[in-house]
Amino acid sequence: MMRFRNTVILVALCGALAAFAYFTEMRGRTDVSAFEESTPTPLWEIQAAEIVRLDVSGPEGSAHLSRGAGAPWQLVDPITQAQQPADDARVTRVIGYLAQLRPTRTLTETGALVEYGLETPAWQATLGLQNGEERTIRWGDQTPSGTAYYVIQRKEGPVHLIASFTIEELQRLVREPAYPPTPTPPAATSATIVAPTPSVAGESASPPMPTPAGASASATPAATATSTP
C-alpha cells in the first residue's frame, strides 16, 4: 500500500512539473488556444539548393555569405564585396536547417510583442533565393525553458517558437565567422638510424681482404719459426 501511495505522489509531481513548464513557456497565459497546433507546418518549404545568400545581423555584428549555383559558400565583405572561401560544410548544415524551418509551436493569440522581445527584434536572418525572392525571420527572447526562441516573420503575423540549436547556429555565424578549418599538417616521418657495430678489442675495424680468384687458403705461406742459435 505504501509503494502504491508513493507511486501516485511521484506521478502527481511529474504532472505538476510538466504543467508548470508548459504554462511558463506561455508567459503565464491561461488561454491554451494561444497554441495553433501541436505539429505546426514549416514557415516555408524551399530546397536548400535554391538558397544562394544568407545574411545574419544582430547587436554583435553581421555575417554575409553567398554562392553561385552549385558552388561552395563564400564569406562576403559587406563594404568591399570581396569574397573568400567559407567553411562550406558548416554553412551547408545551417542552410539545411533553414530550408524547411519548422517551429515547435506557433502562438496565434499573443499579447504585446514586447513580452517576447519582438517589439524591436535584436536579431534577423535573411535568405536570398536563386529567383530573387527573400525569406526573413527575426527573433527576440529565449523561452524560459531555454529550448526555443520567439520568432516572427512579420509584425502582424503569429509568434513562432524555433528550436534553440537552429537560432544559435545562426548567431554563431556572427560570433565565430565560418572561416574554413585549418588543415592538419601531416605527421613527420622519423628516419631510422642504424648505429655501426662496435669492433671487438684487438680486431681491425677494416673489412677482411677478399681472396684472389683461384687461390686457396693453403696458398698462404705459414709463418716460419726462427730458432735462436
> What are the angstrom distances between the C-alpha of 32 and each of 105, 118, 152?
12, 21, 20
Which amino acid, residue 171?
Q
The answer, yes or no, to whether residue 171 has pLDDT greater than 80, is yes
The answer, yes or no, to whether residue 11 has pLDDT greater than 60, is no
Query: What class, spelled out in words, does domain 37-175 have in CATH?
Result: mainly beta
- CA–CA separation, 227 and 229 (whole Å): 6
Instruction: List beta partners, residue 116.
Output: none
pLDDT at 227: 45
Q: Where are the beta strands (DSSP E) in the chain?
A: 51-58, 61-66, 74-76, 83-85, 105-107, 123-129, 134-142, 148-152, 159-163
Instruction: Name the pTM for this structure.
Output: 0.66
Are 185 and 142 within 8 A, CB to CB?
Answer: no
pLDDT digits (tens, 9 = 90+) for 90-113: 999 999 999 989 999 999 877 889
